[in-house]
Amino acid sequence: MINGERTIARPLRWGMVGGGRTGQVGYKHRTGAQRDGTYQLVCGAFDLDAERGRDFGTRLGVAGDRCYADYKALIAGEKAREDGVEVVSIATPNFTHYEITKACLEAGLNVICEKPLFFTVAECEEVERLAAEKGLIVGVTYGFTGHPLVHQMAAMVRNGMLGEIRIVDMQYTHGFNAGDDVGAGEAVKWRTNPKTAGPTFVLGDIGTHLYYLSEVVLPHMKVEKLLCDRKAFIPTRAPLEDHATVLMHYDNGARGRLWVSSVNAGNMGSQRYRFVGSKASVEWSDSHPDQLFYDVQDEPNRILHHGMPYLEEESLAADRMGALHTEGLGDSWANIYLWIAQAIDAKTRGDEAFLKTHHYPDIKAGTEGVRWLENCVRSADAGAVWVDFK
Ligand code: NAD
C-alpha cells in the first residue's frame, strides 16, 4: 500500500511545459506529481500565452522568474542555476512533443511526456537512443494504468487464473465530438489537424491508452496482424478519424477487437476492457475502477473490490485508499508519477538492477503506442485491409 512515505531520497526538482490554465490535462500531472512529495514544482513554461502562463505559474506557487515564456527560455534559465530543474513534464499538443523532449534530453533533463509520444517510430527510436546515451529517463503518462485493479488483472493472467487468453475486447469512446467543429476550442482544433495531431485523431488520443493497458495486462502476447477501419463522421476532420475499429490477431492465436470513437453520442462510459480466457474472464472499466468483474465459467460471477486482502500482491502494492474508500484517476496518476520518480532516482544513482525489474510507462511503451498507430494507419489507408504488424 502506498501511504505517502518517501521512497526516494529527496523530491525531484520538477517543471512543466504546457498544462496551463486552459489546458485539459495539466492538473492531472500536478495532482499526480505532487501527491507523495517526490516532485517539487520549481518552474514552468505553462502556456503559449507567456503572460497568462506567468500569472498561472505564480498562482501555483512557482517563483515569477522561473515562469518562462517558452521551453527554450526554461532550459536556458534553469541551466544557469545550481538548483535547476531535473525533470520536465510535457503537456502540450502532440506536434511539439518530439522537439521539446529532444531539447530537454540534450540539456541533461529527464522527461515525462504525454501520449501519443511522437508522430513516427523513427522519431521515438532516435529519442530512445538519445536518452540512453545521456543516461536519462523518458516516462509517458498513460495515466490509467496506475489503477490497482489493472495490476490485479495482469497478475491473474500471469497466474493462469483465466487460462489461455482467447479474446481481447476493448472500448474507449465518448460523444464530445458528435457535433461539428464550428466554433470549437483550441483543444479540438489541434486534435483534428494532422499537422498538430499527427497521423491520427481518436486512435492516438484515446486508442493508445487501450493498447498500452492491454500490454500491461498481457505482456506475453504480441499483435501479429491487424485490420483498422477508420472514418471521419464529421468530414472536416478527414483525413483524420473520429471513429475507428481495429481487429487484431495475436501470436498465441487470440483475437482482439478495439473500438475508439469521439462521436458515440450520449456515451459517458469511457473505457471498458474484457479479457477472455479458456477458463474465465475479467472485465474492468475506468467508470467503476474500484471493481473488477471475475467471471468463471460454471460458477456464479464475482466482483472483486480494490484494496481487499484476497487480491494479488502487486494490486495491493498499488493501492492508496484502502478498501471501502474510493480510489480514482488522481490516485492512478499519482502511481504513474511515483513509479517514474523511482526510475529517475535509480537512473541517477546508477542502479540498473532496480531498473531491470521496475515497471513504469517508459519510452519503449511510448514507442510501441506509436508503432501500433503506424500499423493502424497503414491498414486503414490501404482500404481497411489486414496488415502484418511491423
Ligand atoms: P490543451 O489544448 O487543452 O492544452 C494545451 C496546453 O499547452 C495549453 O495550456 C497551452 O497554452 C499549452 N501550450 C501549447 N503549446 C505550448 C508550447 N509550445 N509551450 C508551452 N505551452 C504550450 O491540450 P490537452 O488536452 O491538455 O492535451 C495536451 C497533451 O496531453 C496532448 O498530447 C494530449 O494527447 C495529451 N492528453 C493526455 C491525457 C492523458 O490521459 N494522458 C489526457 C488529455 C490529453
Q: Are 145 and 153 in contact (CB under 8 A)?
A: no
Confidence at residue 270, expressed as pLDDT on a 0 to 100 scale:
85
Rounded distance from Cα 77 to ligand 1 centre (Å)? 22
Q: At residue 78, what are phi and psi to the nearest 5 degrees?
A: -75, -30
pTM listed for this prediction = 0.97
Which of 16, 88, 114 is the pocket-test mutation for ligand 1 (most atoms within 8 Å of CB)? Answer: 114
Pairs from 65-74 (Cβ < 8 Å, separation ≥ 24):
66/15, 66/42, 67/43, 68/43, 68/44, 69/45, 70/45, 71/17, 71/45, 71/100, 71/103, 71/104, 72/103, 73/45, 74/15, 74/17, 74/43, 74/44, 74/45
Identity of the amino acid at 330: G
373 grid coordinates: 498507430
Residue ranges of the domains in the chain? 12-144+336-361, 148-321+368-388
pLDDT at 269: 76
Ranges in the chain, pLDDT < 50: none
Confidence (pLDDT) at 328: 95
Ligand 1, residue 205: give the atom nearest the CA: 34
CATH superfamily of domain region 148-321+368-388: Dihydrodipicolinate Reductase; domain 2 (3.30.360.10)
Side-chain half-sphere exposure of 261, counting CA atoms within 13 A:
24
Distance (Å) from CA 27 to ligand 1 centroid: 11
pLDDT in tens, 154-189: 999 999 999 999 999 999 999 999 999 999 999 999
Same fold, 12-144+336-361 and 148-321+368-388: no
What is the SS3 assignment for 229?
Answer: strand
Residue 272 DSSP SS3: strand
User: How far, in Å, from the CA of 23 to the mean position of ligand 1?
Assistant: 6
Query: Alpha carbon of 31 to those of 41, 48, 346, 375, 382: distances in Å?
Result: 11, 22, 23, 34, 42
Query: Do 178 and 243 touch, CB atoms closer than 8 A?
Result: no
Distance CA 353, CA 117 (A): 26
List, for residues 33-75, the tens digit of each pLDDT value.
999 999 999 999 999 999 999 999 999 999 999 999 999 999 9
Alpha-carbon Rg for the chain in angstroms: 21
Pocket of ligand 1 (CB under 6 A): 17-20, 22-25, 45, 47-48, 70-71, 91-94, 96, 114-115, 141, 143, 186-187, 205
pLDDT of residue 382: 98
Are 184 and 229 in contact by the 8 Å Cβ rule? The answer is no
Query: Contact at 8 Å (CB) between 155 and 148?
Result: no
pLDDT for the residue 144:
98
12-144+336-361 CATH pick, 3.40.50.2300, 3.90.1150.10, 3.40.50.720, 3.30.460.80: 3.40.50.720
